[in-house]
Amino acid sequence: MGDRGLAGRLGPALGLMIAALALAFAALPAASDEAGDLRHVAAGLFGSPAQDMAVSPASGSPPAREVRRNARLIGYLASTAEVAHSVGYSGKPIDILVAIDPEARIVGTHLVSQSEPILTLGIDESDIARYVEGFAGYDLAKAVTKQGGKGLPDAISGATISSGVIRDGIIRTARAIAISRGLIAGGGERKLDMGHFAQQSWPQLAATDAIAHRRITLGDARKALSPDLFRTAGAPDAETFIELYLALLNPPSIGQNLLGQRDYNALMSRLSAGDTALFIAASGLYSFKGTAWRKTGRFERIEIIQGNHTITLDRSGYSNVGEVAAADAPSLREAGRFIIPAATSFDPTKPFRLSLLATSDLDGAGLAASFFVDYALPDAFLTGPAVETQAARQPLALWQENWRNRVPAIVFVSLLLAILAAVLVFQDWLAQHYRFYRWTRIGFLGVTLVVLGWGMGAQLSVVHVIAFAQALRTGFEWENFLLDPLIFILWSFVAIALLFWGRGVFCGWLCPFGALQELVNEAARALRIRQMPVPFGLHERLWPIKYVIFLGLFALSLQSISRAFVMAEVEPFKTAITLHFWRAWPFVAYAAALLAAGLVIERFYCRYLCPLGAALAIPARLRMFEWLKRRPQCGTECRICAARCTVGAIHPDGHINPNECIHCLNCQMLYYDTTTCPPLKARMARRAAHHAAVQRASEERQAP
């Protein structure tokens, strides 16, 4: 067959391929769904006409938009990207709006944007929509735990991991909103530790911030109020204007230590559920109590501030503290305990402030200034059963759950990799056992294709390389890459094998699409379909295509990773392996065209187009081992290996191009094949001749 004829035939084949690819892209759905008018989204989710709806901007913590119908609050809209910080396999946020009603039910969900490679294309839009909508009606109050999430939709087939991220994001977002808006009791709500007592001195309590304190000097006060403050008393600026102490009395480890057992018990018996008691004490020139409270009943010099609430303190909850029980207490001018009733909705577990009002003259006229003492109850006083149940119920991180749920698959893949490692280590021995090795390889490829690929969907892809590079640039997080245990294990193995033997370990053994091509070609040969030899000059010039594709994808990913994911459809992997050819026809046509080319040119896709192969070939230059054996005659006297090479990786001069080699060991079998390898055959013949000569000579000698 002439060169020109071949190029002529290859041209249309490539043209067909490009046409199929172009068709595939033409059939893409419109990129990402526009956020659209929130009001209309809300109207759709809550099932009301848009003109009656009002959606506030996101507010609160965690942020949510309040949805009102005719001014009545009918629910919340929250974004998974804002609340759960859902990050998909791509390392990019998955943004889904979740609508929650005041009864803590998910009324609906709306996909805003995602750039999951598996979902970007291929999965029917309606499948994603159906999956996402399947969360409607989920009752957060009944199924508080993630494990208890019965009635949730199954994963989108072919996109288990991404489905898991979506599910996790929706449920976590809905729960966070429902808890923070008080729709359900939060598993994460912390309670005061009321059951635990430890004897502690004043300095110990102060050291852990259980007693907060602030000293205001006379200088500070003069600056804020009047330079004449206490001037008549002759006090210097450095003197203490007031030194304030503030503590929460409810936890026994604070209250009982400060008040003593008797007074603490008396206080506790007075408190109703939800009441809080505070200890406020001071020394210095200024009194926080003042005298007016005896007439008005109000302590106007002190206020408690929490969030947007101001709580005033009055005589009804007040009692003087004569002596502090805790050891080593400072000398105090005044001390009191104040009860804050539950009705104020004061939350002792959250930070609060004491505001102290000071005036420039004693009758309360003139200038005034306020000073603050901040208080946040230390974690040590927050515990109790609520926290323990929360810890017990604490859902595992999504990646941990994925690993735990896939133990059998993980064990299987580990075994498979162990076998592959053994094949590589004992390659010389195997290459000498032709029949055994041949069936081992075909068996292995079959398992790679059927179990690893079609069964488990564990097909590595250039998408992973792009996502990894992106992560290195924008903030690498192991969690994203641990999401899929099989992909993670395979990549770890491939990364190591890359340094030892090069890209071939993956391409020749672990790539399900590679296995599919090789097995298809094997069948074609068995059916005596004539192979089309590609002259080396042309072959070599077609190699760079895959590098150009890879670099193009990489460059595109710097600009827009989701567009790069779309263009990564050059890989037929998703169509042929992950989605089992169950996909829109242009994709199937493209994959089928590649396989058809593979019937006559073995591993056509690997040779010329595969961007993943290109990506792996670049670092593979670092490889340590050169275990593929050659003879001096290779390339000069004989080119049988070059002709039999699966991917045409052997140059006419006999050297093996490691960038192209898929480590199938065909050349190694030939190396040891005494019936095929000419130098070996020649040597065997010489040895046989020598042997025969020796035998003849000895026979002659023995002859009488």
Partner 1 sequence: MLTRRRTLSILAATSGLLGLGGALPHDLVSEWRGPVLGAEGRMLLAGMARRRAREAIAMTLAEVERLEAVFSLYRPGSELSRLNAAGRIDGPSHELRVLIGRSLGYWRKTDGAFNPAVQPLWSFLARHFAANPAAEPDARRLADLVRLADPALISLGAGRISLAPGMALTLNGIAQGFITDRVAELLRGAGFADVLVDLGEFRALPGRRWTIGIEGGGGSVDIADCGLATSASAGTRFTADGRWHHLIDPQSGRSASGFASVTVSAASAAEADALATAFAVAGPSALTRLAQRFPGIAVKAVGAGVTPLSSPAA
- What residues line the site for partner 1 (CB under 8 A)? 57-63, 85, 290, 292, 296, 298, 300, 303, 305, 307-310, 312, 351, 355, 357, 359, 363-370, 374, 474-475
What does the alpha-carbon distance between residue 269 and residue 255 come to, in Å, rounded to a whole number?
13
Our CB check for partner 1 shows the closer of 121 and 246 to be 246
- Whether 83 and 174 have beta carbons less than 8 Å apart is answered as no
Q: What is the nearest approach in angstroms of partner 1 to the Cβ of residue 242?
A: 15
The CA-atom distances, in angstroms, between 623 and each of 279, 362, 426, 504, 627 are 70, 85, 18, 11, 11
Nearer to partner 1 by Cβ, of 296 and 345: the residue is 296
Q: Between residues 298 and 686, which has the closer beta carbon with respect to partner 1?
A: 298
Positive or negative: CA dihedral 34, 36, 40, 45: positive
- Nearer to partner 1 by C-beta: 476 or 585? 476
Between the alpha carbon of residue 695 and those of residues 305, 680, 699, the distances in Å are 110, 22, 6
Residue 368 C-beta: closest distance to partner 1, Å: 4
Q: Identify the residue whose tokens are 């133990």.
A: 407
Say which residues have a Cβ less than 8 Å from residue 313's Cβ, sequence separation at least 6: 298, 299, 302, 303, 304, 338, 340
Nearer of residues 137 and 364 to partner 1, judged by Cβ: 364
Q: In the complex with partner 1, which residue's Cβ is closer, 296 or 695?
A: 296
Task: Name the DSSP letter for residue 575.
Answer: I
Q: Report d(CA 631, CA 653) in Å as an integer.
A: 12
Least Å distance between CB 61 and partner 1? 4
Cis peptide before 63 (omega within 30 of 0): no
CB of 292 to partner 1, least distance (A): 4
Q: Measured from the CB of residue 106, what is the shortest distance to partner 1 in angstroms?
A: 23
At its nearest, how many Å lie between partner 1 and the CB of residue 298?
5
Q: For residue 470, which of 583, 543, 556, 411 has the smallest C-alpha distance? A: 556
Task: Report the nearest approach of partner 1 to the CB of residue 69 (Å).
Answer: 20
- What strands, in cross-sheet order, belong to the sheet with 334-340? 211-217, 240-248, 276-283, 334-340, 318-320
Of 349 and 405, the one with the shorter C-beta distance to partner 1 is 349
Q: Comparing C-alpha atoms, which of 95, 613, 187, 207 is closest to residue 392?
A: 187
Strands ordered across the beta sheet of 65-69? 53-55, 65-69, 72-79, 95-100, 106-113
Q: What are phi and psi of 638, to 5 degrees?
A: -145, 140
Smallest gap from residue 673 Cβ to partner 1 (A): 58
- Quick one: 86 or 659, whose CB is closer to partner 1? 86
Q: Which amino acid is at 17?
A: M
Of 11 and 227, which CB lies nearer to partner 1 in the complex structure?
227
Which ranges constitute the DSSP H helices of 216-371?
Answer: 218-224, 252-259, 261-270, 293-296
Question: CB 476 → partner 1: shortest distance, Å?
Answer: 10
Show the tokens assigned to 348: 């002792």
Q: Which helix (DSSP H) or strand (DSSP E) does residue 354 occupy?
A: strand 352-359
Name which of 194 and 305 has its Cβ closer to partner 1: 305
Of 59 and 126, nearer to partner 1 (C-beta) is 59
- 602, two tokens: 């073995």
To partner 1, the closest distance from the beta carbon of 309 in angstroms equals 7
- Quick one: tokens of 454? 């079609």
Residue 263 C-beta: closest distance to partner 1, Å? 28
Handedness of CA 514, 520, 524, 530 (dihedral sign): negative
